[in-house]
Structure 1
């Protein structure tokens, strides 16, 4: 919900620098590393000053690797002496809660089990979210000492098959005990199991490796947050073996560093143990959120946390008379599919679309459709936190259709359009085309987003697979410039033809509706139309 104004990171693992030599056990954080962290903190402090951040609004959080360090107190004092800033050293319980809240911040209404994979430990929690708040189920979270770096060290010491089998049995038992304590429901024979939401660098690296193997290639959205796979893909032996081979090879995989690649065997081992301990997970979602995001998310009011992320991210672009324009769009859908058909994009997607309706109108015509298509991937909405890949695809495709669709795209972007469309169902894709083209009519008649006059009324009815859409050009709104009405009618007629084409068999296949559009110029009011 909170827009990020600056983001940076320092590539160091405080856990790993304390365990560089497994035979020596844990060692204090080296002075050289402390010096680097102090310098990075000073640079962060300077950046905050340049952005006008009040000193009292600067927070530094420390987690497990600092909490267990032999020289933790010295480390924290060095930071305070250099910057004057106090470091909040989080307890294990508070760190686990913020980690789970960070995952919750990454999705709209997440429900299920979370796993936050750090360097030294993995945190498990159950969470449930509705449209007002996020709830962690007690005794969430539970911490187990099987982080990516810790498990890498454990595996390096398990040099025989017997030792690895013993380690597997121990981890499986600990996972089963944790899941029992969390009272995670086990799905029945014909029931879908709970969803799993994963976070942490090790899991994110695994997610990027799975992107490399995805059926859609190249995968169209280069963001890990919101990436989703079924449980078979997440934990299959084929995926594990393929990822191990990729990690062992010199082939570069997008966003997988050498350090993360070295941890892939440990992550694969943990995933195989989890699959044995709890095989009924149905879907797996990857999250970018962690302790930092969870700490910020926890500071928001329940009402703010309950907002859909795309609605929040597009609110600054909302036209002056957003509600009236949204009504025009909603009234262009028959009641039956709008209320009950899961293929229709959810209302938050439509709200975000109307808020972005005219954003690209100022661009040269050559760029509008392409800019709209890229909006949620590498454009103005790319940084929106908490958006699933399916929702990104839906909004991008609707916006692209509003500005001409594939006919207005280059060959390269037409390919991107098709790959994004594969992330949603064919029925979803049909509604994107229909709603985007209706949006083009609304945008043409209300280019500034102001509803000073009732220029247009919409109403749709549905009979079986046939939809009738009526567009009323309200003559009473055009009396001041009646000579311009024929020109506006021509614009709307052209748009109506484009909407009707969506209903042709070639475009709709078996997923959409036949569409008949009638453009009517007469005196009408909203109450007369019934919209």
Structure 2
């Protein structure tokens, strides 16, 4: 039976909801998300008291989110609260009021739980080995050291985008003295984390609204060709360029910066300052933005509650299999096309010279090449390309995602030259030939299973001086497959330098 799960994150700056779908076959996806800036941690002061106006904003926001969940038939709604509630002397009373007024029960996360959920959101959606995760919230910042994808160290620092802005940046246009005091404070905070020395040189994986807005601003500045934020990389120098821009603009001027949320204009400078000073302190090459964080971590813990640990071992493979289930790909056909395409790839290696990475790309493209059928059979190869360029497939870099999409679409006709130019900022110069070669192998694999019945069980390739002879190991007559292959595969000679032929019967 399918389920819909709502998860509400009551943060210091914003209250966010994700509504997740879990299918009867175990597949899952994000259905919707809502973010409201309630600022429950605003002006708490040294007495650490959540003020009545902030509480009222939170109650009204959560009422709206609860109403949304009911309208969308959520089976369960889980609430978690972070730094503002955790540190407030009246945090318990606030949650009692929220429960009474909205019917939503919130669990206060400890510092360690908050760090762990951020880690779960990242480790289950990105492919990495060693990294330093930085989750900048409104009232706290979590640092998590990952070695071989395991969480080995963590700390929660008592500042976030809201508190830094309130304490150090009270004016609309930051003054040099304010920036200096802010940066000195941040450097002292990082220096007080003893294990941070061991994270020097590691890439920073950024979680939270500050990091997402940083990614969106950079994406606009570079005119990035993909509308994808998850797994987006920002070089350290570009982060510092944005930091300099924010220092020299007022709050109102920041609202006009492309990619920056207007609601975050007054607190973005404090958050980005924290990111920049961490880059300076650790010598990190840059930031990789994660679109998954605490809320997704809570969801993964729920979804994988029967596992020994709620951690995906192979993010890419898991995501591809989930994708196939979500879009009801014909598994038997897709897996057979992948088998035939990879058999051709392996046997023709002397002609192309590619290795395991390219083989992985071909396999994923073959498994997902028909996903566009969910839109329509007609032009489904183009629909496949669109879906693969826009839907969530975790574990793939942006270059890998574009390659998979173009190769998958190559089992039909596309304007490949235009697409290569469109995504030249993501692709390498040699990727055009890579797409043509792997696309040809996929088209051959597709047509060798044209009847979707597995008639051609495998192929044997014999590379000769001027041609490649392909023998079909077929369980019955394969005339349809061979005829379609001759008809549809016309560029083999162009990309491999030899003709192909089947032996005469």
CA distance 1:263–1:339, shift in 2 (3 Å): farther
Say what the alpha-carbon RMSD is for the aligned residues: 3.6
Q: Please name the residue that 2:5 is paired with.
A: none
Q: Please name the residue that 2:477 is paired with.
A: 478
> Gaps spanning 5+ residues in structure 1: where?
187-192, 408-413, 480-484, 504-513, 524-531
CA distance 1:127–1:469, shift in 2 (3 Å): farther
Q: Please name the residue that 1:220 is paired with.
A: 225
- Partner deviation per Cα, 1:254-306 (whole Å, 9 max, x = no partner): 65211223333223322332233122x23421011121111223452359612
1:229 match: secondary structure: strand
Which residue of 401, 404, 414 corresponds with 1:405?
414
Matched, 1:175 2:190: yes
Matched, 1:98 2:111: no
CA distance 1:474–1:355, shift in 2 (3 Å): same
- Partner deviation per Cα, 1:339-365 (whole Å, 9 max, x = no partner): 995684362x43432222333468778
1:94 deviation in Å? Answer: 0.9
1:91 deviation in Å? Answer: 0.8
CA contact (8 A) 1:17 1:29 kept: no
Which residue of 146, 156, 171 corresponds with 1:143?
156
1:113 deviation in Å? Answer: 0.6
Distance 1:255 1:376 in 2: 23
Distance 1:73 1:303 in 2: 29
User: How many residues are treated as equivalent by the alignment?
Assistant: 466
**TM-score, length basis structure 2:** 0.80
Distance 2:466 2:141 in 1: 52
Distance 2:447 2:400 in 1: 25
1:80 match: secondary structure: helix
Q: Please name the residue that 1:4 is paired with.
A: 29
1:36 deviation in Å? Answer: 0.8
CA contact (8 A) 1:471 1:520 kept: yes
Distance 1:287 1:472 in 2: 47
CA distance 1:96–1:363, shift in 2 (3 Å): closer
Q: Please name the residue that 1:35 is paired with.
A: 59
Which residue of 261, 278, 281 corresponds with 1:257?
261
CA distance 1:287–1:476, shift in 2 (3 Å): closer
Which residue of 485, 501, 505 corresponds with 1:519?
501
Distance 1:107 1:252 in 2: 31
1:172 deviation in Å? Answer: 1.0
1:370 deviation in Å? Answer: 3.1
CA contact (8 A) 2:48 2:88 kept: no
Matches within 5 A, 1:342-381: 344-345=357-358, 347=360, 349-360=361-372, 367-378=379-390
CA contact (8 A) 2:40 2:58 kept: no
Q: Please name the residue that 2:204 is paired with.
A: 196
CA contact (8 A) 1:334 1:460 kept: no
Q: Please name the residue that 1:507 is paired with.
A: none
Distance 1:75 1:113 in 2: 33
Which residue of 138, 142, 164 corresponds with 1:119?
138
Distance 1:303 1:351 in 2: 26
Matches within 5 A, 1:31-430: 31-47=55-71, 50-51=73-74, 53=75, 55=76, 58-82=77-101, 84-129=103-148, 134-137=149-152, 140-157=153-170, 161-162=176-177, 164-178=179-193, 180-186=194-200, 193-214=201-222, 217=223, 219-235=224-240, 238-242=241-245, 249=253, 252=256, 255-279=259-283, 281-299=284-302, 300=304, 301=307, 305-307=312-314, 308=316, 309-316=318-325, 317-334=329-346, 341=354, 344-345=357-358, 347=360, 349-360=361-372, 367-378=379-390, 382-385=391-394, 387-406=396-415, 415-430=418-433
CA contact (8 A) 2:38 2:57 kept: no
Distance 1:240 1:415 in 2: 35
**TM-score, length basis structure 1:** 0.76
CA contact (8 A) 2:246 2:254 kept: no
Distance 1:172 1:460 in 2: 64
Matches within 5 A, 1:490-505: 490-501=483-494, 503=495
Q: Please name the residue that 1:189 is paired with.
A: none
